[in-house]
Amino acid sequence: GAGVSQSPSNKVTEKGKDVELRCDPISGHTALYWYRQSLGQGLEFLIYFQGNSAPDKSGLPSDRFSAERTGGSVSTLTIQRTQQEDSAVYLCASSRDRDQPQHFGDGTRLSIL
Amino acid sequence: DAKTTQPPSMDCAEGRAANLPCNHSTISGNEYVYWYRQIHSQGPQYIIHGLKNNETNEMASLIITEDRKSSTLILPHATLRDTAVYYCIVRVAAGNQFYFGTGTSLTVIP
């Protein structure tokens, strides 16, 4: 079945480099979320897209983080000038609309050396 | 802001019912309660959600108190594969964020 797909599954990079994480949501899902999960912690909301509306960026931790969603489908989360504290699993989820359950990908494990 | 409180860990004997409580005393009147679980190295898996009435599906049952301030997820016959971290989540205020907390780590014991 076509679930939420995230790539890469693992990313190791040096401090100061930029990284791009990709999310392919379930077809037809208008809502898309990005979360961050540090080791042993719960999920931290980053950003929310709903259809063609302006995204809710209230969870982005700094201006080094940005995200786009092109054509209401694929989304890219970009982290510029990565820091060691950015190391975490980045999870993407999509849902049919705002109140419907979210379906998650398996995340991208990001390690900053 | 709406948040949830869950016990950090629970054990359950295989084949018995697992009852996982969640307190969400500040939930808004029109917001759902959602339950997910997460097995190591995987993304969270949706289990069930509800607004006011009790709900049941092929995975679990959800009991919501009349005042909506708490709920209980019931796994009727726990198996070893149900060992996971279970999250009860609600939307924060009227925004788009969901509060996940640290969940309940359920261990099913043979």
Chain B residue numbers with beta carbons less than 8 Å from the beta carbon of A101 are 34, 46, 49
Residue in this structure with the two tokens 């599954």, named with its chain if needed = A9
Give how far A6 is from chain B: nearest CA, Å.
10
pLDDT digits (tens, 9 = 90+) for B3-59: 899 999 999 999 999 999 999 988 887 889 999 999 988 999 999 999 998 999 999
CB of A50 within 8 A of CB of A31?
Answer: yes
Closest chain B CA to residue A43: B100
Q: What is the CA radius of gyration of chain B?
A: 13
pLDDT digits (tens, 9 = 90+) for A17-61: 999 999 999 999 999 999 999 988 889 999 999 988 889 999 999
pLDDT digits (tens, 9 = 90+) for B74-101: 999 999 999 999 999 988 766 778 888 8
